[in-house]
Structures are given as C-alpha cells and as structure tokens.
Structure 1
Amino acid sequence: MGFAELGILPVLGNALAQDGITEPTPIQVEAIPVLLEGKDATVSSETGTGKTLAYLLPLFCRIDPAVRSLQMIVIVPTHELAMQIHREATQLAQRSGLGVRTQALIGGVSVKRQIQKLKEKPHLVVGSAGRIGELIGMGKLKAHTAQTIVIDEADRMLFGDSLAAVRRIVKATLRERQLVFVSATEQPESTRVAESLAPDLVRVHTGCNRVVPTIEHCYLICEERDKPTALASLIHAVQPERAIVFVHRNEDAETIAAKLAYRGIATADLHSSRDKMARKRALDDFRAGRTPILIASDVAARGLDVEAVTHIINVDTPSQSKAYLHRTGRTARAGASGCAISLLTDQEKRLVKRYETDLNISMIRVELRGGELLRTPVRPGNVLQKNAPRGEERN
C-alpha cells in the first residue's frame, strides 16, 4: 500500500519520494486514515517507526493554505524536538509546494521576534507548552481557530507542570477540535489523562515495546570508577561511525566528555543544563558527522531522531527494561543494523537477565583485550569488527 491509497495528497507523496520514502510504515498505515477523519486518537509505536510523519501528513492534507489563520498546534517537551519537527514540516511544505506556513515557538529565544513572525499567520505551530501557552495568554496566538492539537511524547507531557500547560492550551481551543496523543510507549497514567481530555479516543498501536531485531546487544563488566577508562578503550576498539553514549545525570555527561577529550576523543555532549545554542551546536555537529560521539542524558535525548546511529553505549544502564528499549531503539532504524553495548558493574549484572527475560533478547558478554573488543569466552575469530554495527566477526 502506498501513501496515495491512504488518502495522502500526491504532491506530499512526491515530496517524500525525494528522500526515498515511497511506502508507509505500519504505524503510518494505521494512523493516517484515522487522523484524516479528524478523530481523537492515541498513536503509539516504538522509536524510529515514523510517528512524526504519521501525524504531519494528515495535518498537511487538512490544512487550507488559503485561510490565513492557525489551524494546527504540535506540543513537544524539548526545544530540540520542536526544531526537529519544525524542520521536517518546513521541508515538507517546500517540497510539496502546498504553501503551508510553519513556525517554531520555544522558550529561551526572543518572544518579541516570535510575536512579529506570528503576523505572517502560520498554519501550523510547533513548540513547548510553556511558550505556546504564554503567547495564547498574551492574545498573540489565536488558538480558537485550531482544528487539531498534537501532543508529542505524550507519555512525558501529561504529568505535572507540562500537563497543566497542555490543559490550558486545550481549553483555549474549540470543543470540536481534534486531539492526538503520540508516544513511543503506552503508559496507563498518561492514557487515563488523555481519555479525560478526549473520552472517545481511537487507539492506534503497532509494535510498541518490541525490540528491533537487527540490534546486537552486548555488555562489558568493569568497576564503576573504571567506566570512563573502559568507555575510552571501547571507542578506540570499535571506532563507531556514529554513537550515542548515555548517562543518567547532566553532570556525568560533562565529566565523561572531559575525560574522553583528555584521551583524544572528540565528543559533543547534550544535556538539559546546557543552553539552547550549545545543545543545537552539539546536535548539528553530531548529525553532520563532525563529531561521531554524542554524550546525552535521557531527558535531553527524549525524542531525538538522528539517522545512521551505529552504536548505543550505556555508561549508566537503566534499571527498567522499557528505558533500555527506548535507548537502544535509536540505532538500527529503517531496517539497518546496530549494536548496543552496556558497561555494567558486578552488581548491575542482574540487569542482563532482566532485559533478556522482559525483552526476549540475548546479550553477549564482551571484554577488552589488546585494544580489541572480544566476545566472552574468547575463541579464535571472536573479535568484534571495527565499524561493524552488528559486530560481525572478522574473517
């Protein structure tokens, strides 16, 4: 089935074809017809399955470019995700020639400039709940004309202060508007909140909480204090083309980056305590391949979408299987292969059994020896190939 059969405009299909996208993913097949009908819905599917296009395409089909008013609102938890979706929407508008105007609305930048640009009457805005709500409160963003509100990363947005901001935005729109909740997981708490906002939700769900079969999962045992050194040796041994290194805390990202720099390894560190421009530079350098290693905390990496990530390295390994699944889902996208390597202490080895049981995967123990990464037990031919995302053995 192609995009045209789903009801997507031919010009949008042609725009996607310029990026080699000719067939919809399973979540797009399920979600697009529902959203085109204007139904309230929850859309859940694992990371990297095309959820953004699953809602952007029907939004574009329903926007009337001749009407100079706001028609669609997309709310996201981070500035990086807002800019990522804004870029995708802008490119879709340009390549399709539909004349859809988009604007990003995020905090940390001049609100006066955003107000000035709002005079161009964007059809679609994407941004943080705080800034969108602020502009609605100022009377500068007329939300009553919005036909659809999308809450992306809903499993994160429907709690605490974010939920309060989302409620205010929803309240500013007409009762007939469409609500769409998008997430990588299905959480009972966020689902209950979504149902309170839109009682007649249609549930669209494919492959949520399933591990990508083309990822090889490995673990390396070391002392906690030795993890930075082990990480440096691991990077030298594997020489990843593009790797994301995960830590729990922001300060750990800075420490790891400094220790790797001391060992001659260039990195970009992405965490929520850095200012917006620093995070943008880090992402741009990583996307462009200028820096092959990105160090990130879970919060900062939420919703991060970067193509061709070959390795995921967990310096701090999550205790929950779902969190491990989400991290590793950032490699091996679109049918590619990938490798996930976790640095574990003896006390953390229990996580291996948990992941294997919960996710139905097999984890390979590896060790560093003589500057090479070896499978354990060590046997001839057990060296993991450098730059081989799936860890193919050398011949």
Structure 2
Amino acid sequence: MQSNNFTSFSFRQELHTVLEKLHFHQPTGIQEKIIPAILSGESVIGQSQTGSGKTHAFLLPIFNLLDESKQGVQFVITSPTRELATQIYNEVKKMIQYANKEGKWTTRLLVGGTDKQRMIDKLTDPPHIIVGTPGRILDLVQEGVISIFSARSFVIDEADLMLDLGLIKEIDQLLVRCNQAIQVLVFSATIPQKMQPFLKKYLSGPIHVKMDQVLSPETMEHRLIHRKHREEADVIMEISQAINPYIAIIFTNGREQADKLSNALLQRGLEVGILHGGLPARERKRALKEIQNLRYQYIVATDLAARGIHIEGVSHVINAQLPKQVEFYIHRVGRTARAGMEGTAISLYTEEDLVLIEKLEEQGLKFTFSNIKNGSWVEDKHWNRRNIRKKTDKSLEEEAWRRVPKAKKVKPGYRKKMKQQQQQIKRQLSNQTKRNYKK
C-alpha cells in the first residue's frame, strides 16, 4: 500500500520544498519500496518499466544523504547514453535550484562529445555528484583528473541497455576503483540472465524490488495495419491524414531503416525529426533540443536512441517495423499514455510479425485491426494464425514439390516414390517453421 505522501521518509526540509516545486504529492510504487532501502544504506535492484518514477527513486534519497560539509565525490550516477545522462543531470540541477542550494550542493556532467579540457578545468574542485557515461568517467578517473574512491553510492541506470551496448565492462572497471563498501544502486526495466554474474560480484544481498509489469495502460489503444506490400512511408502518410498527433514517435529497427524512412517521408512532404545513435554528437544534441522545443510533430527514432529519454506530450507511437521481442514493444508504447493521458500505438505488420502479435494477445493486449480510407479509420479483418497456417501449408506443399529430385528414368512406382520424398521434405520444412515460431 502506498503512502499518502512523502512524509513517511523523514526527508530533510529542503527536499520537501523540492517535492512541492516538482508537484510530487504521492510516491510511485517503485519509490515507495526503494527509497527506504537506499536511505538505510542497502544496495538495491529496482526493476520497473519506463515512466514509473525510477529516476527520482534514487535522486531523492541521494540528496537526503548528501553531506555538504564534506568535499569530494559522494555519488556517481552512470547512464548508457549522453542524452540520458544529460537528462538526469538537468534534473539534478533543477532539484539543487529548488532546494536553494546552488554552490553548496555541487554536480558535474561527464559525457563524450564535449570539450574535454574545459571539463578537466571545471573538476579542480570535485563535485558532490557526478553524472555521466561510463566511458568518459573512466577516462577521467584513469587520467587522475577525478577520484571516485570517496563515493558512498554508485548508480547504474538503464542497466539492461548498459549490457546491450557493452558498457558493463567499463562499469566493472569503475567499481574496482571505488571503496569496497560502496552502495550499488541498479535500475532497469529488465534484468537479463547475462547480468547475473556482474550483480553477484558487486551486490551482496541486495534488496530486489520488481514492480508488476503493466503491459498497457487502460487509456491506450493499439491499432494494427497490414502493410500489404505497400511502402512503409506511403502507409505512414495515410496514417498522418487520419491522426493529428501532438507528437508521434515513429520507431524503426535500426539506423539504416531510420535514415531511409526519414528521407522517404521528407520527400513526401512530411516534416520529421530523426534521432538515432549514428548521428554525430553535435547533431544528436541539436536534434534532441529541437524535439524538446516541439519543432517536430513526427520523430523517426530507433529503440536505443529513444530509450529512457523523456519527450513531453507523445500522443502517438507508430511502429514502422514491429520489434521481435515483447519487451521492446512495451518499451516503445511506454512513450505515450503517461500520467493518465490517452495514447495510441499504431503498428504496421506483415505475416512475419504474427508471432509477436500472438504473444502480446496471449498476455492480454487487445488489438484493433484497422486500415485507412479517405483519411478515416476503417475496421480490417483479423489476420489470425489459422488464415496464415492455410497459406503456410499451401506454400510448404509447393516448396516441397520443388525440392523433390526429378527422376532420370521413369520406373514403375516412381510417382509413389516422389510423393513419399515430397512428404518427407514437407515434414522437414514444417518442423523448421515450428522451430522458427518458437524462437
């Protein structure tokens, strides 16, 4: 059961002022369970989905534990991308300002793509809180510019993304340079099995808080549009005539697809922004600033680029290509329908996506199969598994016959022998199809 407000945490007075200015009245589920553990010095694993309040679940207790009378780094906050680190850093600065502690509580942003010498000059007086990407922090630690041995807490934000990007090695090298008694705070939407050895190495008896995953808010609708051999850009142009989004994020499955789709939409007259990890640092920074300043109504993005980044007012998510995993679908659609607002997820699909769709339906997600005519939504037929199986059986039959070796000499019973070979090949193809389905 959640507290009515934050008073049960016995925060210092400045933090109550911060909470008031942030308009936080009641802790979220993850905050309710994680904050007391952090305040008592426990290492924690906080597992909950995007938009659940994870960032303030560690920032609030960190500020409560900060000792302004001591110099040196007290807290290290790591994030997998520059954009995410910058977002957390801006929140840290805002909280310092709201607490009226500017100059007394200090922080620095340490990320790549910025003037390193200028950064080194600013680290003459070590800050209380450093926020950054693992690579840049490690670089400065190895050069002796800054020491993190004095840190009492080490935050690993978006840990599963750290693992995906191969940054856990750098986190490992940073933790080796910390005091052995350091409190480690791990936050992530998912905790992959591959992360277990790392967690066992650095977290001794941690408090593991896993919030029940809400597959989709009740205020959200999920529409599916069969692509039917049409160009993705053409379908999205039709979608744009049926919706008037405040902001719509269009997801692709990679950088090349994002560039291709963005260019195709621009050629068709739709003004879109683009956000992916392949953009140069300066261009990424500019793109993110323009997006947050509402320069674009439509944004083409990849999973990695949009992960964790807070974009205010996303009313629609469009999957130009559906992901392969349930978790990625949930991450994507989690960009909209926040804080009780309504939201819409629209996904283009082909027969290859029915495995994912079926898995999502099994978990209780309800899709509306739709199409667009004359700028309006119309209902479309449900492309269920039975329809596809009929097509698959027919195509397997034909493919099996194609693979049967042609008889050089026609002998008695050759037709029966060819039929037996065809059936054997068909069984092999069918088994392969089933194995692919289970993956």
8 Å CA contact 2:48–2:189 kept in 1: the answer is yes
Q: Give 1:207 deviation, angstroms.
A: 2.3
Corresponding residue for residue 200 of structure 1: 205
2 CA distance for matches of 1:305 and 1:18? 19
Q: Structure 2 unaligned runs (5+)?
A: 383-439
Secondary structure of 1:219 counterpart: strand
1 CA distance for matches of 2:270 and 2:129? 41
* Aligned mate of 1:363, from 367, 373, 398: 367
2 CA distance for matches of 1:274 and 1:225? 28
* Aligned mate of 1:188, from 182, 193, 196: 193
C-alpha distance 212-195 of structure 1, shift in aligned 2 (>3 A): farther
- 1:26 matched to 2:26? The reply is no
Q: Give 1:209 deviation, angstroms.
A: 6.0
- 1:67 matched to 2:87? The reply is no
Q: Give 1:160 deviation, angstroms.
A: 7.2
Corresponding residue for residue 11 of structure 2: 8
8 Å CA contact 2:126–2:146 kept in 1: the answer is no
Secondary structure of 1:331 counterpart: coil
1:205-262 CA distances to partner (integer Å, 9 max, x unpaired)?
2123643332211110013552111012112221211111100111211121112112
1:170-214 CA distances to partner (integer Å, 9 max, x unpaired)?
011101110011001232222442122112111012123643332
Alignment length (residue pairs):
377
Corresponding residue for residue 92 of structure 1: 95
* Aligned mate of 1:144, from 143, 146, 149: 149
Q: Which residue identity does 1:70 align to in structure 2?
A: V
Q: State the TM-score, normalizing by the size of structure 2.
A: 0.82
Corresponding residue for residue 340 of structure 1: 345
Corresponding residue for residue 129 of structure 1: 134
Corresponding residue for residue 17 of structure 1: 20
Secondary structure of 1:274 counterpart: coil
Corresponding residue for residue 375 of structure 1: 379
Q: Give 1:161 deviation, angstroms.
A: 3.9
- 1:275 matched to 2:249? The reply is no
2 CA distance for matches of 1:26 and 1:110? 39
8 Å CA contact 1:28–1:50 kept in 2: the answer is yes
Q: Give 1:4 deviation, angstroms.
A: 2.3
Q: Give 1:377 deviation, angstroms.
A: 6.1
- 1:313 matched to 2:312? The reply is no
Corresponding residue for residue 403 of structure 2: none
Q: Which residue identity does 2:38 align to in structure 1?
A: L
Corresponding residue for residue 386 of structure 1: none
Q: Give 1:73 deviation, angstroms.
A: 0.4
C-alpha distance 33-236 of structure 1, shift in aligned 2 (>3 A): same
Secondary structure of 2:76 counterpart: strand
Q: Structure 1 unaligned runs (5+)?
A: 379-395
My pick for the range that moved more, 133-142 or 298-307, is 298-307
1 CA distance for matches of 2:132 and 2:204? 25
1 CA distance for matches of 2:165 and 2:328? 20
C-alpha distance 85-249 of structure 1, shift in aligned 2 (>3 A): same
Corresponding residue for residue 115 of structure 1: 120
Q: Which residue identity does 2:224 align to in structure 1?
A: Y
1 CA distance for matches of 2:163 and 2:44? 15
Corresponding residue for residue 309 of structure 2: 304
Identical-residue share of aligned pairs (%): 31
Q: Which has the larger radius of gyration?
A: 2
Corresponding residue for residue 236 of structure 2: 231
Q: Which residue identity does 1:369 align to in structure 2?
A: K
Corresponding residue for residue 155 of structure 1: 160
- 1:211 matched to 2:210? The reply is no
